[in-house]
Amino acid sequence: MQKNITVIEGDGIGPEVTRQSVKILNAIAAQFNHTFNYTYHLMGAVAIDKTGNPLPDETIESCLNSDAVLFGAIGHPKYDNDPTAKVRPEQGLLKLRKSLQLFANIRPVNTYPALQHLAPLKAEKLEGVDFIIFRELTGGIYFGKKELSEDGTKASDDCVYTTPEIERIAHLAFQYAQKPERRKKLTLVDKANVLETSRLWRKVVQEISKQYPDVAVDYMFVDNASMQIMLNPKQFDIVLTENMFGDIISDEASVLSGSLGLLPSASVGTGTVLFEPIHGSYPQAAGKDIANPLGSILSAAMMLEHFGLSTEAALVREAVKWTLENGFVSKDIEPVNFYFTSTIGDLISDYV
Amino acid sequence: MQKNITVIEGDGIGPEVTRQSVKILNAIAAQFNHTFNYTYHLMGAVAIDKTGNPLPDETIESCLNSDAVLFGAIGHPKYDNDPTAKVRPEQGLLKLRKSLQLFANIRPVNTYPALQHLAPLKAEKLEGVDFIIFRELTGGIYFGKKELSEDGTKASDDCVYTTPEIERIAHLAFQYAQKPERRKKLTLVDKANVLETSRLWRKVVQEISKQYPDVAVDYMFVDNASMQIMLNPKQFDIVLTENMFGDIISDEASVLSGSLGLLPSASVGTGTVLFEPIHGSYPQAAGKDIANPLGSILSAAMMLEHFGLSTEAALVREAVKWTLENGFVSKDIEPVNFYFTSTIGDLISDYV
Ligand SMILES: CC(C)[C@H](C(=O)O)[C@@H](O)C(=O)O
Ligand SMILES: CC(C)[C@H](C(=O)O)[C@@H](O)C(=O)O
């Protein structure tokens, strides 16, 4: 099999974790006789520094012409604390999501026995936790009209949703819920007691659910959901939600796994699919070879799965599990006797 | 001392928990020679049923003419799953917040040793947790323009903030942070890497912070905050945030206490202050005498404090602690050997 992959290393720890994934993809390619062609492009703070633009046109072009995108991380503190900055790294990612129409961000939430001691929750809460969050990614308040009054004393962000935007991700989520390995339950998270957009979500999902009679649906207000994720995370199977609520609850849910550093995600749409760890650019760790590469490596495994290479994906996951069980872990997991980012990449690449 | 209190029992378990508070306020009044006059008014689903209006004008009038409002709970499932309902209970509460200009909702987050076994978090995470969330309550996406297109396929909610709206609650939060019992740290939770309104919040808070040089300020994105509340809740002292983010993270934070049922809140503004438990109307339990009255009772204690009656407030809190330590607890805490709502009210009223 031959695949073209655009690699966007991005900011902070993005480059060093992404390089481990590429190393492992190469090992897989050698082992199973595939050809992966990589094209490297810029996005984020690093792109602003080099070109003035957080998402140069070549990057978009390359992504559109690739089979998949492997992305690292985005963001730099120098922009975060400057509310007046006109250009910011995150604009690059948001524009890329829109350009590739990546309307659904899929984040599996699993727990790893070897990491349970790191999670803030009691062990009995964590056993059997296994759900997937479907976060809408190209609509809502992220992409509505933003305004700042001339005199700078009034700001607004518009949250907009249309029926087709809700339908396409709802169908995707319902179809996932029907998969043999799932428990056929879908929870819509919204704030329908306050928001007009949430009421539209609820109406559309109620309608669509009729086409999936084997999937049980429930509706939960986002404030309640933020409690339920901690109080009883086992109740969830497929969680469907809009962009901003998804941003918040999927990061919240990441604490169940014991480390944000090993959660992967896929953003899918109408064409090219993008894979990225859910962690951020973690600038304090950049260049130190101490970041956890597993989020990126498991994202690469999702990419292999997406290419139809299930055996290869399973092998990468097995290797990851082996490192965790044998203590070949990064500093976030084992602050004293830790292994370097690049060493973990080497170990997994040797294993596969 | 003489005080006029408007009592709004509201929906679901609202009436039965509020009645315990009134019982205890009466015991306090008798003991300390105060006069509390109660005027009862309608709001919520019960008001819709009786008057067609979730917030009758008499209710607003009465609140404006009172020293404080004691409120129970709001909401009914028959409206939640009907996205087309034109009148909904929650509109009553939102309109009351606006009418009384209750711009700040203050929610203390504490842990109780006697309840630690109920919290999903490991004990070592909970020790020493003590923070207060200041949630803006009369602005943002809750109150911006809401639209549904004629054909029902497009919905929008506008999120708007102005500098004065941010300033007034920011000053309140900074002043709290300076209190002798606080740790002089303020965390602004926003999403300044995406939202224009969040950038305005960050700019205004940066400005105002100069007037409070003894308060350390940090800025946290809401997705990160939703993790940090679980990973390291001790880091927080005063948390300041906008309306929707506050709704989500304050409910999330409630799990730290071991039971949502015992968290109180105060909503303050330019005049009359409103006190309410943070739990909802919990319709499944309504009328069964099994709800936890402590959220309401501790809200009544906050009201006494607000009246300047610190000794009285401390006595109510001591009585609450005594019930918890002696196992006089409701069904949410002790599913088998539980005490009835009204019995707990009697016990506390006898104690004070
Ligand atoms: C970097 C930021 C714009 C982004 C988001 O909020 O979508 C990130 O938090 C994420 O979840 O991918
Ligand atoms: C009932 C609802 C409108 C309300 C809110 O979202 O503000 C509630 O959740 C709260 O937090 O007081």
Q: Which of residues 216-245 of B touch A (CB under 8 A)?
A: 219, 221-224, 226-227, 230-231, 244-245
> Do A14 and A72 contact (CB within 8 A), yes or no?
yes
Integer CA distances (angstroms), B217 to B106, B162, B173, B237, B340, in order: 18, 21, 11, 10, 44
User: Looking at the complex, does the CB of residue A247 fall below 8 Å from at least one CB of chain B?
Assistant: yes
Say which of A224, A231, A260 has its CB closest to residue B120. A231
Compute the Cα dihedral for B332, B336, B340, B345 and give only its sign: negative
> Do A94 and A60 contact (CB within 8 A), yes or no?
no
Amino acid at the residue A241: T
Nearest to A16 by CA among A293, A275, A263, A278: A293
Mean pLDDT throughout A101-118? 91
> Do A330 and A292 contact (CB within 8 A), yes or no?
yes
**Ligand found nearest the CA of B96:** 2
Tens of pLDDT, residues A13-68: 999 999 999 999 999 999 999 999 999 999 999 999 999 999 999 999 999 999 99
**b or e along A120-138 (b: 16 or more beta carbons within 10 Å of the residue's beta carbon)?**
bbeeebbeebebbbbbbbb
> Do B192 and B199 contact (CB within 8 A), yes or no?
yes
- Ligand 2 center to A14 CA (angstroms): 39
**pLDDT of the residue at B50:** 96
* Closest residue by CA, ligand 2 atom 3: B90
**pLDDT of the residue at B82:** 80
> Do B35 and B307 contact (CB within 8 A), yes or no?
no
* Closest residue by CA, ligand 1 atom 10: A247
Tens of pLDDT, residues B198-231: 999 999 999 999 999 999 999 999 999 999 999 9
Mean pLDDT throughout B54-79? 96
Question: What is the three-class DSSP state of A22?
Answer: helix
Å between A88 CA and nearest CA of chain B: 8
> Do A68 and A275 contact (CB within 8 A), yes or no?
yes
Mean pLDDT of chain B: 96
CA dist., res. A111 & res. A118, Å (int)? 11
- Ligand 1 center to A247 CA (angstroms): 7
- Closest chain A residue to the Cα of B280, Cα to Cα: A224
Whether the per-residue pLDDT at B114 is higher than 90: the answer is no
Dmax over Cα atoms in chain A, in whole Å?
Answer: 62
Q: Dump strand ranges (E) for chain B.
A: 2-10, 35-40, 68-73, 104-110, 130-136, 146-148, 154-162, 185-190, 216-221, 238-241, 264-268, 273-277
Percent of chain B whose pLDDT exceeds 70: 100
- Closest chain B residue to the Cα of A279, Cα to Cα: B224
**Ligand found nearest the CA of A97:** 1
Tokens of B47: 């008001």
> Do A144 and B160 contact (CB within 8 A), yes or no?
no
Enumerate domains of chain A plus CATH numbers. Answer: 1-105+261-352 (3.40.718.10), 120-257 (3.40.718.10)
CA dist., res. B319 & res. B347, Å (int)? 8
Place of tokens 């169908």: A171
> Do B71 and B11 contact (CB within 8 A), yes or no?
no
Percent of chain A whose pLDDT exceeds 90: 91
Better-predicted residue by pLDDT, A287 or B84: A287
Q: Which atom of ligand 1 is nearest to the CA of B194?
A: 3
The CB density around residue A153, as the number of other CB atoms within 10 Å, is 16
pLDDT-derived band at B164, boundaries 50, 70, 90: very high
CA dist., res. B32 & res. B27, Å (int)? 9
Whether the per-residue pLDDT at B281 is higher than 80: the answer is yes
Q: Which of residues 35-94 of A touch B (CB under 8 A)?
A: 75, 79-81, 83-84, 88, 90, 94
Q: Dump strand ranges (E) for A65-122.
A: 68-73, 104-110
* Closest residue by CA, ligand 2 atom 7: B247
Nearest to B342 by CA among B29, B23, B88, B6: B23
Name every residue whose Cβ is closer than 8 Å to that of residue B202 and which is 6 or more positions away in sequence: A81, A83, B188, B190, B192, B219
Whether the per-residue pLDDT at A171 is higher than 80: the answer is yes
**Most ligand 1 atoms within 8 A of CB, residue of A74, A242, A247 to mutate:** A247
Whether the per-residue pLDDT at B116 is higher than 90: the answer is no
> Do B343 and B328 contact (CB within 8 A), yes or no?
yes
Percent of chain A whose pLDDT exceeds 70: 100
> Do B352 and B28 contact (CB within 8 A), yes or no?
yes
The CB density around residue A154, as the number of other CB atoms within 10 Å, is 18
> Do B261 and B279 contact (CB within 8 A), yes or no?
yes
Mean pLDDT throughout B299-319? 97
pLDDT-derived band at A81, boundaries 50, 70, 90: confident
CB of B158 sitting under 6 A from ligand 1: no
Residue B247 marked in a binding site = yes
**pLDDT of the residue at B186:** 98
- The crossing angle, in degrees rounded to 10, of helices B294-306 and B310-325 is 160
Nearest to A285 by CA among A340, A207, A206: A340
Tens of pLDDT, residues A238-268: 999 999 999 999 999 999 998 889 999 999 9
Tens of pLDDT, residues B25-50: 999 999 999 999 999 999 999 999 99
pLDDT-derived band at B341, boundaries 50, 70, 90: very high
Place of tokens 């495994």: A301
CB of B223 sitting under 6 A from ligand 1: yes
CB atoms B161 and A148 under 8 Å? no
Nearest to B190 by CA among A223, A312, A248: A248
Question: What is the three-class DSSP state of A146?
Answer: strand
CA dist., res. B322 & res. B301, Å (int)? 15
What region, left, alpha or beta, does residue B128 occupy, with left being phi > 0 and alpha being psi -120 to 50 degrees? Answer: left
Mean pLDDT throughout B17-23? 98
Contacts of B197 in chain A (CB under 8 A): 155-157
pLDDT-derived band at A116, boundaries 50, 70, 90: confident
- The crossing angle, in degrees rounded to 10, of helices A163-177 and A196-209 is 50
The CB density around residue B3, as the number of other CB atoms within 10 Å, is 19
What region, left, alpha or beta, does residue A274 occupy, with left being phi > 0 and alpha being psi -120 to 50 degrees? Answer: beta
What region, left, alpha or beta, does residue B327 occupy, with left being phi > 0 and alpha being psi -120 to 50 degrees? Answer: left
CA dist., res. B43 & res. B38, Å (int)? 16
**pLDDT of the residue at B336:** 93
Whether the per-residue pLDDT at B246 is higher than 80: the answer is yes
The pairing of beta strand B238-241 with beta strand B130-136:
parallel
Tokens of A255: 């604490």
CB atoms A252 and B244 under 8 Å? no
* Active site amino acids of A: 142, 191, 223, 247, 251
Q: Which atom of ligand 2 is nearest to the CA of B75?
A: 1
Dmax over Cα atoms in chain B, in whole Å?
Answer: 62
Neighbouring-strand partners of residue A105: A135, A267
Q: What is the CA radius of gyration of chain B?
A: 20
* Closest residue by CA, ligand 2 atom 6: B247
Tokens of B137: 């309550």
Helix (H) or strand (E) holding B43: none
Whether the per-residue pLDDT at B81 is higher than 80: the answer is no
**pLDDT of the residue at A115:** 87
Q: Where are the alpha helices (DSSP H) in A83-195?
A: 89-99, 123-126, 163-177
**Most ligand 1 atoms within 8 A of CB, residue of A8, A74, A79, A90 to mutate:** A90
* Closest residue by CA, ligand 1 atom 7: A247
Tokens of B55: 């917030």
**pLDDT of the residue at B258:** 87
Contacts of A146 in chain B (CB under 8 A): 195-196
Tokens of B269: 């503004």
* Closest residue by CA, ligand 2 atom 5: B247
**pLDDT of the residue at B314:** 97
**pLDDT of the residue at B86:** 86
Helix (H) or strand (E) holding B352: none
Whether the per-residue pLDDT at A345 is higher than 90: the answer is yes
**pLDDT of the residue at A113:** 84
Question: What is the three-class DSSP state of B69?
Answer: strand
The pairing of beta strand B264-268 with beta strand B273-277:
antiparallel
**pLDDT of the residue at B210:** 98
- Closest chain A residue to the Cα of B195, Cα to Cα: A157
Å between B239 CA and nearest CA of chain A: 16
Integer CA distances (angstroms), B85 to A148, A200, B88, B145, B149, in order: 34, 12, 7, 18, 16
CA dist., res. A319 & res. B215, Å (int)? 48
Helix (H) or strand (E) holding A10: strand A2-10
**Ligand found nearest the CA of B246:** 2
Say which of B142, B153, B227 has its CB closest to residue A252. B227
Neighbouring-strand partners of residue A219: A188
- Ligand 1 center to B72 CA (angstroms): 37
* Active site amino acids of B: 142, 191, 223, 247, 251
Contacts of A162 in chain B (CB under 8 A): 153-155
**pLDDT of the residue at A41:** 98
Mean pLDDT of chain A: 96
